[in-house]
């Protein structure tokens, strides 16, 4: 199954009831999957919106009604959704937003890139808020993390972003679904469904009293602290004895892994650290690694965005190098292996005896 | 021997990347013929959209600048306001002009921006792989209407030209097609008139061109030409939709309608 | 855990193939067929089709990677095998093949001009054979048969099993495609 379709199927199995999208490459197969498979399910709805601005606002509406809802797009379309995401965050509404990202800036290229790291992890739109950001690196993980995204969104009443890329969305890999679609679709208890038998509810953020908004900001950030504590996720690979640790996420991480396998075969003690939640970012674990690792290499398919978080985590205790290919160029494992090898010897790191 | 067919001066020497039978190539050629004949190659500035025609600048030998999806009319407005001597046109697909860019289009027209929109209606999103467009016919199958466009859920084909015709700032609107030699000729005439309206400083002009997309319609070029004739024109009748160019003077004070 | 992972590092089998041709030639289904066959033989597989503007003008291609281990990248910058179903594909991909790799050419409609001496060129008159079998559309399966014989990547029987699954309800198509596969396989 294609990565894009895997997300769609996983969303349906997670009880996603409403999907709103707008065509954009390289995520079209997801929209098309929902058109074919969600539109005819009982109680479900699919709309091809007239723009991404509309699509995210439809998500806002469906989330108000208390159902699991999702939209997907690629970089330029995600830019248009930022206003809506800010409103979702402000109103504490759960939603899942998929970014099968591509090269930028501007119309850019439709090839896979990771240049939306800042946009995803820094809120993206206006105001003081965060969104949970999940970064899958295989088709299996696209499906698994989609399911998790819906759960997280509901548990913390927060928009969750799945940051994939054109390579993951377009490729096909063996895949297993761990859940069946629920027979009953969940409805949140705080939904707006008419004030029948209860006092009326208002969902809003605007206020003429700054202190009231300040209180909202505080309560959001208390929740964000909780998310940081509970939900930070990462993968480590051969780091125990590593002199050099490559830090990479998503598609870049699987490429790095291939390179590391070969580096190990050549006797270089290299490991990998892969953040799976980009926000919350696993600062603590990286900080821990500074005790055992001499050097970090951050590898991204952009000009260096996640490296800022790695620097925050390393706090100057170790040296950090960077290798990146922007614009939608997909580096090869052997290219990364060359970078690792050169760096390894330049820094005089110890090899296997 | 008399040469009866040559490459227009405004057309670059490059092989089109469009699919065989695609209407974009024909419209590109017509545009460049008009530029040559009106001798405006050095005055026109084109705004191509995200869409199959995003590479129009590979072929049209004029100044061009890409816009964000749907924002063509706004970009053209800014350009024209900043430099009124230019002849500014947008080249837009139906997804671009009639879905995401509806607001920009209607308001540019309503302000009577002295710009021209070349609107390619091929009833689908071509570039992204054949999804439903606002202009997709009822019951027509696309990749996002796999069971056919259900008008109860997905609405009706949008007649954008008729809608834009309602605003006073729009002075010339015609719907043509590029599916036969006769229609191609009419299209060229319409493009000419649209630019003339801009040159005469009258207001917004729009030419909607029904254009085959054999690839996403899953037809061969001949079938797609016939489909334009037999199906599309039923929903989108060809002909002049609005012409206020004769009754409106250049100050725009006297209204035709 | 560490040591275990290290021992498997050494023997890495990773084969990448690009299938390319005109839109209607079924190059994507060739890739899918191979992927599914390799998957059912217990291999790690990735399949990556060309998409977007790349497919305008009527050409298509896909990349299949097959390995005993996790696959790092589904992209092939220097594939081991290339299957060129038409002339533009031949022109585009012949220089990318790894030295010592195999280049399959649909010689019925392609001028097999190859400028490299370090790869093996295999000419398969796939369209002609399909024509003879009275199903011009199954040229891709003729090629697939030849491909499986020459590369030994997957068994012919597995490919046939995959076909049976793909065309579950259309027995006619299974027979035609099976015939085409076998005809290609028996060429060499
Ligand atoms: C904000 C944004 N959303 C989506 C896209 C993806 N996109 C590129 S072209 C296009 C529309 C293509 O359809 P149309 O305008 O009808 O032109 P055609 O390709 O048929 O000529 C879309 C949705 C984009 N570039 N930017
Ligand atoms: S997809 Fe359609 S509109 Fe795009 S180039 Fe091909 S025929 Fe033309």
In the predicted structure, residue C1 carries a pLDDT above the cut 60: no
Does the structural domain C14-185 have CATH classification 3.40.50.620?
Answer: no
pLDDT tens digits, A70-127: 999 999 999 999 999 999 999 999 999 999 999 999 999 999 999 999 999 998 999 9
Local confidence band at C55 (pLDDT 50, 70, 90 cut-offs): low
Smallest Cα distance from B210 to chain A, Å: 20
pLDDT tens digits, A220-250: 999 999 999 999 999 999 999 999 999 999 9
- Check: CB of residue B77 under 8 Å from CB of residue B57: no
In this predicted structure, what is the pLDDT of residue A250?
98
- Among B53, B215, B218, B224, most C C-beta atoms within 10 A, so best to mutate, is B215
- Among C56, C58, C60, C86, most B C-beta atoms within 10 A, so best to mutate, is C56
Residue nearest to ligand 1 atom 7, measured at CA: A24
**What percentage of chain C exceeds 90 in pLDDT?**
73
In this predicted structure, what is the pLDDT of residue A92?
96
Residue nearest to ligand 1 atom 22, measured at CA: A24
In the predicted structure, residue A263 carries a pLDDT above the cut 90: yes
Smallest Cα distance from C5 to chain A, Å: 9
Q: What's the ipTM?
A: 0.88
Residues in chain C: 188
In the predicted structure, residue C23 carries a pLDDT above the cut 90: no
Q: What is the CATH code for A235-346?
A: 3.40.50.920
Weakly modelled stretches of chain B, pLDDT under 50:
250-257
* Domain assignments of chain C as residue spans, ordered by start: 14-185
- Interface residue A173 vs chain C (CB under 8 A): yes
The three-state (H, E, C) secondary structure of chain A, written as one string: CEHHHHHHHHHHHCCCCEEEECCCCCCHHHHHHHHHHCCCCCCCEEEECCCHHHHHHHHHHHHHCCCCEEEEECHHHHHHHHHHHHHHHHCCCCEEEEEEECECCCCCECCCCCCCHHHHHCCCCCCCCCCEEECCCCHHHHHHHHHHHHHHHHHHCCEEEEEEEHHHHHCECCCCCCCCCCCCCCCCCCCCCCCCCCCCCCCCCCCCCHHHHHHHHHHHHHHHHHHHHHHCCEEEECCCCCCEEEECCHHHHHHHHHHHHHHHHCCECEEEEEECEEECCCHHHHHHHCCCCCEEEEEECCCCCHHHHHHHHHCCCCEEEEEECCCCCCCCHHHHHHHHHHHHHHCCCCECC
Provide the mean pLDDT of chain A.
Answer: 96
In this predicted structure, what is the pLDDT of residue C10?
38
- Interface residue A76 vs chain B (CB under 8 A): yes
In this predicted structure, what is the pLDDT of residue C7?
37
Chains linked to C by 3 or more Cβ pairs within 8 Å: A, B
In this predicted structure, what is the pLDDT of residue C24?
82
Enumerate chain C positions whose Cβ falls within 8 A of a Cβ in B: 23, 51-53, 56-58
Is C35 in contact with A172 (Cβ distance < 8 A)? yes
- Backbone φ and ψ for B94, nearest 5 degrees, come out as -75, -30
In this predicted structure, what is the pLDDT of residue A352?
76
In this predicted structure, what is the pLDDT of residue C6?
38
Mean pLDDT for the stretch of residues A30-46: 96
Select the residue of C51, C52, C57 nearest B17 (Cβ to Cβ): C57
Mean pLDDT for the stretch of residues A134-163: 98
Global pTM reads 0.91
pLDDT tens digits, A186-195: 899 999 998 8
**What percentage of chain A exceeds 70 in pLDDT?**
100
Which ligand is in closest contact with the Cα of B53? 1
Is C47 in contact with A173 (Cβ distance < 8 A)? yes
Domains of chain B as residue ranges with CATH? 24-243 (3.40.50.970)
Smallest Cα distance from C65 to chain A, Å: 10
Local confidence band at C57 (pLDDT 50, 70, 90 cut-offs): low
In the predicted structure, residue A34 carries a pLDDT above the cut 80: yes
In the predicted structure, residue A179 carries a pLDDT above the cut 80: yes
In this predicted structure, what is the pLDDT of residue C2?
38
Sheet architecture: strand order including A69-73:
A45-48, A18-21, A69-73, A95-101, A159-165, A132-134, A277-279
Q: Report the CATH fold assignment for A3-230.
A: Rossmann fold (3.40.50)
In this predicted structure, what is the pLDDT of residue B247?
77
A133, β-bridge pairs: A161, A279
């Amino acid at each position: 199954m294609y990565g894009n379709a895997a997300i769609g199927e996983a969303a349906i199995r997670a009880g996603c009831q409403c999907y709103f999208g707008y065509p954009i490459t390289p995520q079209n197969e997801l929209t098309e999957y929902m058109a074919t498979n969600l539109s005819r399910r009982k109680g479900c709805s699919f709309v091809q919106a007239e723009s991404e601005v509309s699509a995210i606002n439809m998500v806002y509406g469906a989330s108000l009604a208390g159902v699991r809802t999702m939209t997907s797009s690629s970089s330029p379309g995600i830019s248009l959704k930022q206003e809506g995401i800010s409103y979702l965050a402000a109103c504490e509404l759960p939603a899942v937003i998929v970014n099968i990202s591509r090269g930028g800036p501007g119309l850019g290229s439709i090839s896979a890139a990771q240049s939306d790291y800042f946009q995803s992890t820094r809120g993206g739109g206006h105001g003081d808020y965060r969104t949970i950001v999940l970064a899958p690196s295989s088709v299996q993980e696209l499906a698994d993390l989609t399911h998790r995204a819906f759960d997280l969104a509901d548990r913390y009443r927060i928009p969750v972003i799945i940051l994939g890329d054109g390579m993951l969305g377009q490729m096909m890999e063996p895949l297993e679904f761990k859940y069946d679609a629920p027979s009953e679709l969940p409805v949140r208890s705080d939904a707006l469904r008419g004030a029948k038998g209860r006092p009326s509810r208002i969902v809003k953020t605007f206020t003429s009293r700054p202190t009231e908004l300040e209180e909202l900001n505080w309560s959001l950030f208390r929740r964000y602290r909780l998310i940081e504590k509970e939900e930070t996720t990462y993968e480590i690979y051969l780091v125990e004895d590593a002199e050099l640790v490559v830090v990479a996420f998503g598609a870049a991480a699987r490429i790095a892994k291939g390179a590391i396998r070969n580096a190990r075969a050549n006797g270089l003690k290299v490991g990998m650290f892969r953040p799976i939640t980009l926000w919350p970012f696993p600062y603590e674990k990286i900080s821990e690694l500074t005790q055992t690792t001499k050097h970090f290499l951050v590898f991204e398919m952009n000009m260096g965005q996640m490296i800022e978080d790695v620097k925050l985590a390393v706090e100057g205790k170790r040296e950090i190098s960077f290798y990146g290919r922007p614009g939608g160029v997909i580096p090869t494992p052997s290219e990364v292996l060359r970078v690792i090898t050169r760096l390894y010897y330049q820094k005089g790191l110890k090899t296997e005896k | 021997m008399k040469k009866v067919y040559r490459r227009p001066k405004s057309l670059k020497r490059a092989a089109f990347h469009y699919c065989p039978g695609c209407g974009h190539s024909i419209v590109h050629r017509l545009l460049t013929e008009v530029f040559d004949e009106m001798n405006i190659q050095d005055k026109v500035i084109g705004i191509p959209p995200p869409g199959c025609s995003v590479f129009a600048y590979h072929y049209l030998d004029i100044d061009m600048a890409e816009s964000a999806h749907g924002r063509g009319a706004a970009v053209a407005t800014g350009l024209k306001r900043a430099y009124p001597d230019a002849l500014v046109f947008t080249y837009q697909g139906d997804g671009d002009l009639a879905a995401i860019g509806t607001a920009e289009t209607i308001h540019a027209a309503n302000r009577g921006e002295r710009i021209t929109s070349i609107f390619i209606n091929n009833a689908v999103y071509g570039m992204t792989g054949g999804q439903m467009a606002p202009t997709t016919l009822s019951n027509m199958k696309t990749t996002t209407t796999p069971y056919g466009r259900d008008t109860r859920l997905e609405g009706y084909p949008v007649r954008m030209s008729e809608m834009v015709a309602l605003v006073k700032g729009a002075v010339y609107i015609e719907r043509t097609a590029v599916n036969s030699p006769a229609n191609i000729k009419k299209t060229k005439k319409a493009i000419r008139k649209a630019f003339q309206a801009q040159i005469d400083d009258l207001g917004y002009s729009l030419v909607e061109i029904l254009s085959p997309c054999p690839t996403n319609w899953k037809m061969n070029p001949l079938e797609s030409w016939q489909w334009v004739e037999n199906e599309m024109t039923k929903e989108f009748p060809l002909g002049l939709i609005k012409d206020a160019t004769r009754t409106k003077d250049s100050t725009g004070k006297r209204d035709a309608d | 855990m560490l040591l275990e992972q290290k021992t498997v590092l050494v023997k890495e089998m990773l084969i990448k193939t690009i299938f390319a041709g005109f839109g209607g030639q079924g190059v994507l289904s060739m890739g899918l067929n191979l992927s599914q066959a390799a998957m059912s033989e217990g291999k790690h597989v990735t399949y990556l089709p060309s998409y977007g503007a790349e497919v305008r003008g009527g050409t298509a291609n896909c990349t299949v990677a097959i390995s005993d281990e996790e696959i790092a990248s589904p992209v092939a910058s220097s594939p081991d095998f290339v299957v060129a179903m038409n002339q533009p594909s031949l022109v585009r991909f012949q220089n990318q093949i790894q030295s010592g790799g195999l280049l399959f050419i649909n010689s019925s409609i392609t001028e097999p001009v190859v400028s490299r001496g370090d790869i093996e060129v295999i000419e398969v008159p796939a369209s002609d054979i399909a024509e003879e079998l009275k199903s011009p559309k199954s040229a891709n399966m003729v090629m697939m048969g030849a491909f499986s014989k020459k590369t030994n990547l997957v068994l012919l029987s597995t490919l046939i099993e995959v076909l049976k699954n793909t065309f579950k309800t259309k027995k006619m198509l299974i027979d035609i495609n099976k015939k085409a596969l076998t005809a290609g396989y028996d060429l060499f």
